[in-house]
Structure 1
């Protein structure tokens, strides 16, 4: 083999110097004042102090998540920060619906080529979103995979560890007949249904000329997934809050039924749902029927909370103090873990 064609790791597409320079650039984003983090960047794994004297019987809550095809749309429009916030908020929401406090997040960035500015933006955005959710980005992985992932493509995932007192776990087991179902407003499409949104854009590119609440259509689509921890944490431990469902893929029906006990069902009045304008635009251009939309999108409901009937007003008032709209959309009755819709969606 000639000197000109000599093989090396760098020649195969992986530049260790750039990788190391990138690690140095993102190191500041991983700095934390959290005393539970016992080591710093560069270690083989994160050491996290598991001593929780304020908990009688601590239970860890574990979850891994990814933002789906929204990451492709975001990167096409140089909206790196928004999709990173999407991922962290989605992840935290899945953790807190168990009544948990988020503790530590680790990210994974898989790419065909490490672009230092892009990766730095991603890690900084992950860290900022974690901080906003009162937890810590404690590390992660950046995997350079030439030949497997095309250059310019990034695949993002993240994992979380949360904690909850065993006696205060919110898993729906205490839900009973007559409980009220509340909607916590979403900020938009969040991270589900984006493949359909992309197909609508492809079929009717003129949709990009639409404005949603004063924002260009694409910007509205890329609005980050709403975070609900700060709005809900003050209700954790209260007897009146008995169930939380994060409305993601499958919509209201396929997520609310995940927390219903045997022998109970839910009735949701579609006419009470405050459908966000973006869904009306998607319906118009995609010629979508409501049944398919309800199974694909959140339709304006980011979290469904199940509360005791007499606790509904207090819960709504508490949530609204955080700036998130909340209102009643249904009731729990006898059934077989079914979620039944009544009425019709109303659009502004």
Structure 2
């Protein structure tokens, strides 16, 4: 008897429906630089290099991690796509690059267009927030690898910066001040720990007076810092940037520091969202473990000369940015008091 692909677990018709339903969402992200169309074998993007001296392409790739597990447990799928874009574009702006385009990879055990379309709509929203074009991607139905309609999500972004304007952190010194831009919450890190410590917590219960459930607060998308950071770079000299992802402040801030310098951050100055208190108290997690896992309310750290602090804070006022510490001579990487 002849066998079909559908009998093996792959529904091509659902795939066709998915592509048809995401067309308008993808189109909403595109601009005059996009030369390709959805359904082609690759994405085409025409570079506009006017005013960019010795252009350098900057790329970044990342996923959403086990936050997707929470998304399909709560049946909320329109936020993780924003996370996926954010995790990539927030990385490449740390070198001073302007993001240009994005591609996604969505893999699932069973393609359910009502869910996957929501995911891509989130990706498109993230692209719009970042000013990038969604020029392609892949949706793979992989029964046997993923169970049921479980899915995983990853992405890839490319940006451009003039070679002389690459931010490397080499000019950071002991006259440098660290400014933090607040996160929107947990962002996309530490969810294996979160899911473990909150395994007996009712995620559908209201969280404080937020009007949202605990699960909805946890699924708040990663903040995209592209617009605010590029605006700052246009107005002052930015010496270094650190996107606070896995490893928290402890692992990520030292990555932008030159040899012989360390960051000194005042923990009491940090504006830590209440969701972190719930996680810490429920799991009896130490302060050190929290700092080494989560962003603790700071999603991006910016290093500027002390003479530029006032102007930087004025430019970033709408973001709620504030001073979180200084750089000093030393080899400890980071000290959080």
TM-score range, shorter chain: over 0.9
Aligned to 1:286: 283
- The 8 Å contact of residues 172 and 260 in structure 1, kept in 2 or not, is answered as yes
Match of 1:223 among 184, 205, 220: 220
Aligned residues: 335
Match of 1:89 in 2: 86
1:29 equivalenced with 2:25 (yes/no): yes
Q: Which residue of the partner structure matches residue 300 of structure 1?
A: 297
Deviations 1:45-66 (A, max 9, x none): 0111134122111111111110
- 1:239 and 1:325, CA in 2 relative to 1: closer, same or farther beyond 3 A? closer
Question: Matches of 1:227 and 1:320 in 2, distance apart?
Answer: 16
Q: Deviations over 1:238-282 (max 9, x none)?
A: 553111101111110110011110111111111111111111121
The equivalent position to 1:312 in structure 2, one of 309, 332, 335, is 309
**CA separation in 1, counterparts of 2:227 and 2:48?**
24
Task: Provide TM-score, normalisation by structure 1.
Answer: 0.92
CA distance in 1, matches of 2:327, 2:193: 31
Gaps of 5+ in 2: none
SS of the aligned residue for 2:83 comes to helix
Q: Please say which structure displays the higher CA radius of gyration.
A: 1
CA distance in 1, matches of 2:303, 2:31: 33
Q: Calculate the aligned-residue CA RMSD, in Å.
A: 1.6
The Cα shift of 1:213 comes to 4.7
Give the equivalent residue in structure 1 for 2:147.
Answer: 150
Aligned mates of 1:28, 1:256 — CA distance in 2 = 39
Q: Provide Cα deviations, 1:113-166, integer angstroms capped at 9, x if missing partner.
A: 111121211112211210121111111000111112112111100100111111
State the partner residue of 2:329.
334
Relative to structure 2, which stretch is displaced further, 117-126 or 230-239?
Answer: 230-239
Spell out the pairing of 1:1-348 with structure 2 (5 A cutoff). Answer: 3=1, 6-31=2-27, 33-202=30-199, 204-205=200-201, 209=205, 211-214=207-210, 215-321=212-318, 324-336=319-331, 338-342=333-337
Residues 14, 146 of structure 1: 8 Å contact kept: yes
Separation in 1, partners of 2:209, 2:301: 24
Measure, in 2, the Cα distance between the counterparts of 1:117 and 1:310: 52
SS of the residue corresponding to residue 218 of structure 1 reads helix
State whether residues 30 and 133 of structure 2, in contact with CA within 8 Å, keep that contact through their aligned partners in structure 1: no
Unaligned 5+ runs, structure 1:
343-348
User: Separation in 1 of the partners of 2:323 and 2:141?
Assistant: 47
TM-superposition CA deviations, 1:288-308 (whole Å, max 9, x none): 110111101111111111110
Q: 1:211 to 1:17 in 2, by over 3 A?
A: closer
Whether contact under 8 Å (1:260, 1:337) holds in the other structure is: no
Per-residue Cα deviation, 1:24-59 (whole angstroms, up to 9, x for no partner): 222222225511111211211011113412211111
1:201 Cα deviation (Å)?
1.4
SS in 2 for 1:52: coil
